[in-house]
Amino acid sequence: MNGLPMSPQVFAILGALIEEKLGIHYGPLDKDLLGDKIAMRAVEAGFDSLLDYYYYLRYDPAGEAEFDALADVLVVGETYLFRELDQLEALVRDVLLPLAEAGGPRRPRIWSAACATGEEPYSIAMCLADRGLLHQVEIVASDLSTRSLAAARAGAYGPRALRSQVKVPPFAWRFLQKNGERIVVSEEIRKAVDFRRINLLDGDSIGKIGFFDVIVCRNVLIYFQDSTARRVIDMLTGALFPSGALLVGVSESLLRLGTALRCEERGGAFVYRKAG
Ligand SMILES: C[S@@+](CC[C@H](N)C(=O)[O-])C[C@H]1O[C@@H](n2cnc3c(N)ncnc32)[C@H](O)[C@@H]1O
C-alpha cells in the first residue's frame, strides 16, 4: 500500500480508462492490486490523489506520455525462452518450412504480437536458424510496453529466461552465450527480429504493418474480456494473408469467441487458419 486510497468510484473510472486504452480488464477482486500499482506510479509522477491522476491521464495534453509510463507498470511481461516450444517447432516445421521451400516471390512473414521482452521471437528465430531458414523468413515482433521492448532489443537476460521446467533444445547454445549470470542472444539472432511498438487495440497501427503468413499471439488475450479479445482477433485476422495461421497459447482457445478462422492441428499444435 502506497498511502493513496482508491475509492470504488475511482477504481471504476481508472479501470475503464485502462481497459479502453490497453484492453486489460480488472475485476472487483483486482482492486487492491491495481490500486497499489497505480498509486506507486502516481506518487512517482508527483500526485497525491488518484482522482487528480485520473484527470491528468484523461484530459491533460501530457497525459498520453504518462499513460505509457503507467502501462509499463501495469503489464504482466511473464515470458521465457522456448516457452511452449513444441508449438513453435510445429509452426516452423509444418507451416513456415513448406512456405520457404515453395520459394514464392516474397519471404514468408511471421509476427510475434505481444512479445514482451523478446524471448518468444528469439525462440522462433533460433528454431528457424536451426533449420537454416533464418534469413528466408521475415520476423516482426511487437509489444505495447516501451520498457519491455528496450529489454527485447538488448537481448540479454537474467537466469529466469531459462526455466528449469523447460526443455532447452540442443541447438540453443549455438545462439546463446552465458556471460556470468546473464544469457546473451547472439547478434545474428537479434538482428533477425524487427521490433516495433504496437498496441493490439490500435487498428491503424495493425493496418500499417502489412500482411503475415503466421501471427503468434500467445498469453495476452487472457487479460482481455471476450468482446475485446474478439475485436483483436478480427484485426489480426485482417492482417493474415489468405491461408495464414494464427497461434495462441496452449491453454487458450478462440473457439468460444466465434472466430472466422478454422481450427486445425499441425504436428500436434492447434493453429487457427484463415480461408485460402
Ligand atoms: C504474458 S506476456 C506474453 C509474452 C509472450 N507472448 C509469451 O507468451 O511468452 C503479455 C504481453 O502482452 C502485452 N500486452 C498487454 N496488452 C497489450 C496490448 N493492448 N497491446 C500490445 N501488447 C499488450 C504486455 O505488455 C506483455 O508484454
55-105: pLDDT as tens digits:
999 999 999 999 999 999 999 999 999 999 999 999 999 999 999 999 889
Å from CA of 192 to ligand 1 middle: 20
Residue 89 counted as domain residue: yes
Count, residues in the chain: 276
Give the per-residue pLDDT at 83.
Answer: 97
Nearest-CA residue for ligand 1 atom 3 is: 219
Q: How far is the CA of 219 from the centre of ligand 1 (A)?
A: 7
Q: Are residues 48 and 183 in the same domain?
A: no
Q: What is the pLDDT of residue 2?
A: 56
Collapsing DSSP to helix, strand or coil, 266 comes out as: strand
The count of structural domains within the chain is 2
Residues 120, 43 within the same domain: no
Shortest-distance atom of ligand 1 to CA 198: 21
**Judgement on whether residues 70 and 138 belong to the same structural domain of the protein:** no
| pLDDT at residue 168, rounded to an integer | 92
Q: Which of 109, 93, 74 is nearest to 215 (CA)?
A: 109
Q: What is the CATH number of the domain that holds 108?
A: 3.40.50.150
Please say whether the beta carbons of 91 and 245 come within 8 A: yes
Nearest to 192 by CA among 135, 107, 143, 120: 135
- Strand pairing category for 240-247 and 269-273: antiparallel
Among 52, 74, 96, give the residue marking a domain's end: 74
135 and 239: one domain? yes
Task: Choose which residue among 22, 143, 149, 196 to substitute to test ligand 1 binding: the one with the highest number of ligand atoms within 8 A of its C-beta.
Answer: 143
DSSP code, position 95: I
CA 228 – ligand 1 centroid, Å: 14
Q: Assign residue 59 the CATH number of its domain.
A: 1.10.155
Region 127-138: mean pLDDT is: 97
Helix (H, G, I), strand (E, B) or coil at 10: helix
Q: Whose CA is nearest to atom 7 of ligand 1?
A: 79
Is 262 a member of any domain?
Answer: yes
* 28 vs 30: CA distance, rounded Å: 5
Same domain, 55 and 113: no
Give yes or no for a contact between 130 and 171, defined as CB atoms under 8 angstroms apart: yes
State which of 67, 206, 220 you would mutate to test the pocket of ligand 1, scoring each by most atoms of that ligand within 8 A of its C-beta.
220
Question: What DSSP assignment string belongs to 179-219?
Answer: ETTEEEE-HHHHHTEEEEE--TT-HHHHHHS--EEEEE--S
The 109-113 sheet, strands edge to edge: 193-197, 138-143, 109-113, 212-216, 240-247, 269-273, 262-266
In a shared domain, residues 55 and 127: no
Interval between CA 221 and ligand 1 midpoint (Å): 8
Atom of ligand 1 at shortest range from CA of 22: 19
Across 8-43, b (16+ Cβ under 10 Å) vs e yields eebbebbbebbbebbbbbbeeeebeebbebbbebbe
The answer to whether residue 80 sits within a structural domain is: no
Residues in the ligand 1 pocket, defined by CB under 6 Å? 22-24, 75-79, 83, 114-116, 120, 143-145, 148, 199-201, 218-220, 223, 249
Range of the domain at 46: 8-74
Q: How far is the CA of 183 from the centre of ligand 1 (A)?
A: 22
- Domain termination site, one of 34, 49, 74: 74
User: Which amino acid does the sequence have at 24?
Assistant: I
pLDDT at 239: 98
In a domain, 38, yes or no: yes
Same domain, 55 and 92: no
Is the pLDDT at 276 greater than 90, yes or no? no
Q: Does one domain contain both 90 and 68?
A: no
Q: How far is CA 35 from CA 4, 47, 179, in A?
A: 8, 14, 38
The set of cell numbers assigned to 157 is 537476460
State residue 3's pLDDT score: 75
Set of cell numbers at residue 206? 495493425
Distance 200 CA to ligand 1 centre (A): 9
Residue 222's pLDDT is 95
Q: Are 209 and 198 in contact (CB under 8 A)?
A: yes
**Residue at a domain's end among 26, 52, 74:** 74
Q: Whose CA is nearest to atom 5 of ligand 1?
A: 115
Report d(CA 231, CA 44) in Å as an integer: 34
- Looking at the fold, whether 155 and 59 belong to one and the same domain comes out as no
Cell numbers placing 62: 501530457
Residue 34 lies in a domain: yes
Residue 194 within a domain: yes
Same domain, 157 and 61: no
The residue among 161, 165, 183, 187 whose CA lies nearest residue 81 is: 161
Partners of 216 in the beta sheet? 112, 247
Q: Is residue 79 part of a domain?
A: no
pLDDT at 103: 87
| Model pLDDT for residues 153-198, shown as the tens digit of each residue | 999 999 999 998 898 999 999 999 999 999 999 999 999 999 999 9
pLDDT single digits (tens) 4-62 = 999 999 999 999 999 999 999 999 999 999 999 999 999 999 999 999 999 999 999 99
Same domain, 64 and 16: yes
Q: Is the pLDDT of residue 238 over 60?
A: yes
Determine contact, residues 217/272, Cβ cutoff 8 Å: no
Q: What average pLDDT score do residues 129-143 get?
A: 97
Q: Is 202 or 268 the better-scoring residue by pLDDT?
A: 202
The span from the CA of 169 to the CA of 133, in Å, is 17
Percent pLDDT > 70 in the chain is 99
Ligand 1 test: best mutation among 75, 233, 251, most atoms within 8 Å of CB? 75
Whether residues 42 and 142 fall in one domain: no
Residue 264 resides in a domain: yes
What mean pLDDT is predicted for residues 96-116? 95
